[in-house]
Structures are given as structure tokens and as C-alpha cells.
Amino acid sequence: MRFLKDQTGYALMMTVIIMMVLLVLGAAVVQYALFNMNQTVKAEQDLKAYYLARSGADAASEYLIQNPGKGSSFMGSKSEPTSFEGGTFTVEITESGGMVEVLSTGNFQGRTRAVKRILRKVGGPLKQTVFAATGEGSSEEPAIKLEGSARIIGTTGTNATGEASVQLAWSTGIDDGDLLVGAHGDMEQVIDSEQPPKNHVPNGKIGQLDDVVTFEVPPFPEFPGNLPSRDDLSTDKQNHTYIIAEDGQYDLINVHANRNLTFDLKGGVRKIRVKEMTISGSVEIISRGTDGKLILYVEKLFQAVDNSRVNATGQGKDTPGALTVYLDGTNAFGGVAPDTFHQYQFVGNVVARNAPVMLGKGSMVRGGVVTGGDMVKVSGGATAVNAVIYAPNAHVDVKGSGATGAIVAHSLSASGNARIIYDENAAHDESVLELIHSGEGGFIAYRGGTWHPVMIQ
């Protein structure tokens, strides 16, 4: 009997121990289950916060892509928290080195996640023959004014919405393209024409832009300050070879008539800084290689006169991108403002900080003409310009002359027998588009969209 009692006591003790173990294990299981449940809830909240962040970045990015003309107004800005699907997101947009970062932070029930989308700011072809980027415009200050028998060949647009801000004389018109006035403008009020407006646009439609189109003047570069100093160069001697084969900084370069100055690029980029450069003879490029380029940084004066030729012969003559002239100061490129023109041949790109641009007297220009100044004149000679004229702050005046390529201006007038003709090759030239950094239809364009997670501190 005593044995049985001892066995019963042992069994009871084991039962108590087992129950205690089970209670501990049960508590651990419950705690583990609660932990897992909590982690699952947090994971779900984190996922929702992430998708809120992604939704914000995606929405902002797609808006930039679809409305690139408004991009500059958003750079450096941060949105207020936006409610969506039970949470919020904020978006911050910044730009650096041609890359646009769209940073979005999502918050869901106290959990925060962030993501960024990187867009590239890129260029694209100008698709309109003429675009006048003026504001409202008026009858006194029209955006586009065509007189005499002037005609534009290709689509023409303007932001203008003011009364009589597009003026078309009897024999003028727009051929093989549309006429688009400012968004929300009253076309009957905007267009002042001596014939029914449709008669002036025989092969296209008259309509409105979907939105305001903006054009930005590209930043003017800092001139290099570390180039070796060189003596003045003047091609005084006949039958003498003048070659510049090294980078350098000059006060004066003067190329006389019937003389030739050659720039040896040695297959690379040649940089020349000069205060004044006057050309009566010829300037040409040799040893260009595949991508060689001559860059002239001109501080005060660049004049090509007396039937001179600048990159119109030699290895760069078919490539405007082989020569870029950056012109500082207020002296006009191509003449003496306001009405004195010089005759020359020029193949290359010109970027003027504020200088007027004078193209005429039968001159031939092929490439891009970019200026932040307020005046561009094209006059005299049926084929004066075969280039993109990008002057969003300037009034462009074309008189009795021809301009093929594309024109972006603040406002434009054309008179006499002027013909402004769209040229696809000029409008698609990559060297020009790199300078103006302009996108589809004249917009700045945003492309790409690589995604990057962001750690929350």
C-alpha cells in the first residue's frame, strides 16, 4: 500500500510539473503568436506606407513627364501631406546636373517609408516652325505680325491670348501647318486678319494650345580662367601659314582678307578665350577626328565681315557642332546694331549672353543661334539663315529674307517676301539641342524613371 501511495505522489508531482511546463510553453506560444501578429501588422503598415510613397512619386513624376513646361516651377519645392487610402504622402522635387529627383515619403498609421524616382532632363526636336512665347500680347504689342507677302511654312504657335495679338495682312499666311493660339484664348479675338482666318491657313487648322508653353534661356557658361596667355595674333603676312594648335587666351585675333587661320584640334577639344576677334578672311578646322570641337570664348567682340568664311571650309564645314562661339558683352553678333549687317558664311553654333543678333546681307548661317538678348534681325538675302534661332526673350524681325530651321522668340514680325520654312535637319541637330536643352514641342522633356528605396533615419 505504501508503494502505491509513493507512486501516486510521484504521478501528482509529474502532473504538476507538466502543467507548469505547459503553462510556460503556452505563454511563450501566445507571446510568439502576438509578436508575429504584431510584426505582420507592422509589415502590412510598412507595405502600405511604401505604396503610398510610391504612389506620390509616381503621380508627381508622371505629371512632370506629361506637363514638362511647368517643371521649372516645381524644382526645389516640397508638397504638404496629401491624404490617400487612409494615409498620407509628401513629395519633394529637386534638380542637379540634368537629373531630377522625385522624393516621396509615405505614412500609414505611424509607419513611414520613402522612395525616390530619378528622371533625366533631356532635349528633343523643335517641332514648330515658329513659336512666340510672349505673354498675353495685344494689338500694340502683337506676338506674331505678318506683313507684305510674308509666309511661314509649317506649324506656328503662340501663348498669346490678347485681342489682335496675331496680325495677318492680306497676302500673308501659314502654309503646310497649323496656327495655334494661347490656351483658353478666344481665337476670333486673338487673330486679326484681313481675310477670313482660314484663308490665311489654307492647309492646316486653327486651334489652341493645350497649355502654356515655356522656354528657358540656357545658363551662360563661366569662361575658363586657366588657359595659357598668348600674344596677339594678326595674319599680316601673305603666303604665310597661321595655325593655332594649342589652347590659349588672347587679347586680339585678327584674320585679314585673303588670309587663312587654321585651328588644329588634334582630334580633341580646342579651347580659345579671346577679348576681340575680327575675321575678314577664312577660319577653318583641321585634324578634327570624329568628335573634335573648337570652342571660342569671346569676351567683347566677334565680327565676321567682308565675305569671310568661318568653318565653311575644312573638316568642320558640314558639322555645326564642330564649332561653338560663346559671346559675352553687348556687341552684336553679325553686325552693328541696329541696322548694319555684314556678309559672311558661318557654320557652327553661337550662344550670346545678351548680345543682339544680326543676320543678313546675303550671309549664310548654318547651326544654332542662341541668345538671351532682346533683339534678332534677319534681313536681305533669300537664304540668310539655315539654323535654329532660339531667342525666347527677343523680338525676331525677318525682312525680305529667308530663314529655314525653327524659330523660338518672345515675339516675331515678318515682312516683304519673307519666307520662314521648317527644316527638320536643323531642328533635330543634337549639338543645337544640347545648347538650348529644349524638349518635345519646345518643352523641357523628362524621361526615364529609375526607382530607389530610401532609408528612414
Q: What is the pLDDT of residue 336?
A: 79
Same domain? 77 vs 144: no
C-alpha cell recorded at residue 264: 588644329
Q: What is the pLDDT of residue 270?
A: 97
DSSP string covering 288-311? -TTT-EEEEEEEEEEEE-TTEEEE
C-alpha cell recorded at residue 5: 501511495
If residue 104 lies in a helix (H) or strand (E), which one and from where to where?
Answer: strand 99-108
Same domain? 355 vs 335: yes
Which three-class secondary structure state does DSSP give residue 112?
strand
Give mean pLDDT in consecutive 10-residue pieces for the chain, a chain of 457 residues. 52 66 60 59 83 87 73 82 88 83 90 87 74 90 96 94 96 96 91 95 93 81 95 93 97 95 96 97 94 96 92 93 94 82 92 92 88 90 72 92 87 93 84 68 58 72
Same domain? 193 vs 256: yes
Same domain? 202 vs 342: yes
* pTM of the shown model: 0.73
> CA-to-CA distance for 436 and 249, rounded, in angstroms?
26
> CA-to-CA distance for 378 and 395, rounded, in angstroms?
11
Q: What is the dihedral of CA 242, 248, 253, 257, to 10 degrees?
A: 30
The per-residue b/e assignment along 143-177, b for 16 or more CB within 10 angstroms, e otherwise, is bbbbbbbbbbbbbbbbbbbbbbbbbbbeebbbbbb
Same domain? 148 vs 83: no
Q: Could you report the per-residue pLDDT of 301-329, keeping only the tens digit for each?
A: 999 988 899 999 999 998 999 999 999 98
Q: What is the pLDDT of residue 6?
A: 54
Q: Which of 103, 118, 99, 109 is nearest to 54 (CA)?
A: 103
Domain count, the chain: 2
If residue 81 lies in a helix (H) or strand (E), which one and from where to where?
Answer: none
Q: What is the pLDDT of residue 303?
A: 93
Same domain? 145 vs 164: yes
Same domain? 117 vs 134: no
Helices (H), 276-421: none
Q: Which of 195, 150, 161, 203 is nearest to 178 (CA)?
A: 203
C-alpha cell recorded at residue 261: 587661320
DSSP string covering 373-417? SSEEEEESSTT-EEEEEEEEEEEEEEES-EEEEEEEEEEEEEETT
If residue 210 lies in a helix (H) or strand (E), which one and from where to where?
Answer: none
Same domain? 250 vs 366: yes
> CA-to-CA distance for 284 and 311, rounded, in angstroms?
5
Same domain? 237 vs 319: yes
The whole domain housing 86 covers 2-122+449-454
Same domain? 84 vs 211: no
> CA-to-CA distance for 79 and 62, rounded, in angstroms?
16
Same domain? 108 vs 230: no
Q: What is the pLDDT of residue 126?
A: 79
> CA-to-CA distance for 443 and 339, rounded, in angstroms?
32
* Matching residue, cell 577679348: 275
> CA-to-CA distance for 219 and 193, rounded, in angstroms?
38
Determine what percent of the chain falls in helix, strand and coil, rounding each to the nearest 5. Answer: 20, 45, 35
> CA-to-CA distance for 33 and 457, rounded, in angstroms?
29
If residue 15 lies in a helix (H) or strand (E), which one and from where to where?
Answer: helix 2-66
Q: What is the pLDDT of residue 442?
A: 46
Same domain? 178 vs 248: yes
N-to-C CA span, the chain: 72
Parallel/antiparallel/unpaired status of strands 206-208 and 179-181: parallel
